[in-house]
Amino acid sequence: MRIDTPAGSILCDPWVNPAYFASWFPFPDNSQLDWETLGDCDYLYVSHLHRDHFDAAHLKRFVSKKATVLLPEYPTSQLEDELRELGFTRFFKTVSDEVHELDGGLKIMIQALTSPTDGPIGDSSLWVEHDGIRVLNQNDARPTDLSTFAALGHVHAHMLQFSGAIWYPMVYELPSVAKTAFGKQKRERQFDRTFRYIDDLNASWVFPIAGPPCFLDDQLWHLNDIFGDEGNIFPDQSEFISEYAKVGKTNGVVLLPGSVATIGQTDCATTHPTDVGAFFAQKENHLKAYAERQRIVIEREKASWSHPEIDVLAGMKAQIEPLLEESVYLAKGVGGPVRFDLTDPDGVVVESIVVDFPGKEVRIYDDEKVRYRFQTERRLIEHLLHIGEGDWVNSLFLSCRFTAARIGQYNEFVYAFFKCLSEERLQYAEGWYESQRPDAEDITIGGWTFQRRCAHLKADLTRFGIVEGNQLTCQLHGWKWDLASGRCLTAVGHELRSAAAEARPDA
Ligand code: FES
């Protein structure tokens, strides 16, 4: 989406190329748009690093490097780093929940969500105001409520996700009746959640955006919502409008690639490249033709996954065992072994590997009971190891190119762990879970008692903290604190709770 105002244009999450092992494609096909012109924007907003929002190849090729990036306030610099790598040099670093005034009276606010369960550790929404007209691009972010935005005045245009963007329940090995029932529940929950957000904000017009993706590979074709399956979690925009009508609402506006909506105080005039109703009536044909055009792209991608020379067990051991060793909350949260059955492209299991969370090791499966079992092609894991992927949710799991079975309830820690396959991400997630406890723990080192988790990105200071005199250095990023005052010597803010140990008889 591009938000044009007299004070400048903001291009938001331009996504064109397939994401997640060539499984997700934008729907409808937007590749024919004039991206040279659309990419010539004043500002770029990338809400988060999920690959259906952060399309590196497209950003690199089509988006002006003169654009100023409106950066959400995330705890790690990964989004900024990846954008810099693509050639962007101008960054406007926002403070979460704070209104910033840009040139020409353009006002923006970005709300950054930062729990380990938000996106790839971070998701955000963009609020924009110009000349009394306000829009909220909530995107696929899930804040607890929208009161922070509502407090800034009546919103005229509310854009938000309404469809599914997950692998549940389709990949689960369940009887088809159960799968349909779970899918139906999920589909209803998605609509309910969307309607709740819409009611919260009470905007003049509502735009269903940020999904659904479509699936053009033959192997995933069944995931498209074209078979009248009430358990399909990927309803499209026209489905949204009919469900929305059932709750008595008529202010929903569907946009196609190339549609333009002009928002005023009391009106919203929309033009479309083609008749919207006719387009959705022809959805299956659109998808078939789209799949034909993309066949070569999918084949090319598939050909790049195999790295048979990689020893997957050794690679997983090297990447995952040190993290298991450091993990307290996530490992405890998973609480049991997780098994990966790796197959050849024909689906025959060739290797079975267990990530043993209690035992803190990665090893060959030993015929034991496991908490979760995943089955996927070996070449996908080869590829993840080959590229050093630190987030298997933002690659393998979202691809839906796996099946799963589990004992017991959904366990958020399993997926939180597999999105934290790097030291920095793991430490952040561990610290986040720790900070949720009311009595965050203190430790004593070198005569000082201070909080266990680093005030920067929550590294465990029993492992990363070095005390010299009255100075603490956290070795994860080298930040320093004065322990007498708790003041951070490296950056503004980030105060540390600390005191001399002898002043604390209980220390
Ligand atoms: S986590 Fe960055 S310096 Fe401690």
pLDDT digits (tens, 9 = 90+) for 460-501: 899 889 999 999 998 878 889 999 999 999 877 788 999 999
d(C-alpha 473, C-alpha 481), whole Å:
7
Q: Which of 425, 454, 461, 495 to mutate to test the pocket of ligand 1 (most atoms within 8 A of CB)?
A: 454
Q: For the segment 426-458, what is each residue's pLDDT rounded down to a tens digit? A: 999 999 888 877 667 899 999 999 999 898 878
Q: List the structure tokens of 266.
A: 């009391």
Using CA atoms, how far residue 352 sits from 324, 384, 392, in Å, is 19, 17, 18
In this structure, how many other beta carbons lie within 10 angstroms of the beta carbon of residue 118? 18
State in Å: Cα 431 to ligand 1 middle.
Answer: 11
Side chain identity, residue 67: A
Q: What are the structural domains, with CATH classification, of the chain?
A: 2-298 (3.60.15.10), 312-427 (3.30.1050.10), 437-503 (2.102.10.10)
Confidence of residue 507 (pLDDT cuts 50, 70, 90): very low
Q: How many CA atoms lie within 13 A of 216 on its CB side?
A: 30
Exposure of 91 by Cβ count < 10 A (0-12 exposed, 13-18 middle, 19+ buried)? Answer: middle
pLDDT for residue 250 is more than 90: yes
In the reported structure, the alpha carbon of residue 465 is separated from the centroid of ligand 1 by a whole-number distance in angstroms of 9
CA 148–ligand 1 middle distance (angstroms): 30
Question: Which tens digit of pLDDT belongs to each residue from 254-282?
Answer: 999 999 999 999 999 999 999 999 999 99
Which ligand 1 atom is the nearest neighbour of the CA of 427? 1
Q: Please, which pLDDT band fits residue 506 given cuts at 50, 70 and 90? A: very low
Output the pLDDT for position 160: 97
Type and span of the H or E element at 414? helix 412-418
Q: Which of 150-159, 279-288, 397-406, 454-463 has the lowest mean pLDDT?
A: 454-463
Structure confidence at residue 439 (pLDDT):
64
pLDDT at 457: 77
Q: Which of 428, 453, 456, 462 to mutate to test the pocket of ligand 1 (most atoms within 8 A of CB)?
A: 456
Peptide bond before residue 322 is cis, with ω within 30 degrees of 0: no
Q: Which atom of ligand 1 is nearest to the CA of 455?
A: 4
Asked if the model's pLDDT at residue 239 lies above 60, the reply is yes
Residues 6+ apart with CB under 8 A from 197: 138, 146, 158, 160
9: tokens are 């244009």
- Are 110 and 124 in contact by the 8 Å Cβ rule? The answer is yes
Spacing, Cα 143 to ligand 1 middle (Å): 26
Kindly report the number of other CB atoms within 10 A of residue 390's CB atom: 21
| Residue-level pLDDT at 229 | 93
Question: What pLDDT does 505 receive?
Answer: 44
The protein residue whose alpha carbon is closest to atom 2 in ligand 1 is 477
Per the model's pLDDT, the better-predicted residue between 268 and 121 turns out to be 268
19-28, 143-152, 340-349, 372-381: segment of lowest average pLDDT: 143-152
> 49: CA distance to ligand 1 center in Å?
21
Mean pLDDT of 208-220: 97
State what percent of residues in the chain have pLDDT above 70: 99
The pLDDT confidence band at residue 503, using thresholds 50, 70 and 90, is low
Q: What's the token pair of residue 239?
A: 């489905």
Q: Please tell me the residue having the least CA distance from ligand 1 atom 1.
A: 457
Task: Supply 224's token pair.
Answer: 């498209």
Which residues does a 6 A CB cutoff place in the pocket of ligand 1? 454, 456-457, 459, 474, 476-477, 479
Give the pLDDT score at 438. Answer: 64
Give phi and psi for 423, each to the nearest 5: -55, -50
pTM of the model: 0.88
What are the tens digits of pLDDT across the range 5-43? 999 999 999 999 999 999 999 999 999 999 999 999 999
Dist. CA 422 → ligand 1 center (Å) = 14
Report residue 254 as tokens.
């569907």
Distance CA 174, CA 196 (A): 30
* pLDDT > 80? residue 180: yes
Specify the pLDDT at position 461.
92
The beta strands (E) that lie in 323-464 are given as 337-343, 349-356, 361-364, 372-377, 402-406, 442-445, 448-451
CA of 480 to the centre of ligand 1 (A): 9
User: In the numeric block, which tokens belong to residue 457?
Assistant: 């990105």
pLDDT given for residue 436 in this prediction: 74
What mean pLDDT is predicted for residues 290-314? 97
CB 59 within 8 A of CB 35: no
Amino acid 76: pLDDT? 86
- The per-residue pLDDT for 408 is 79
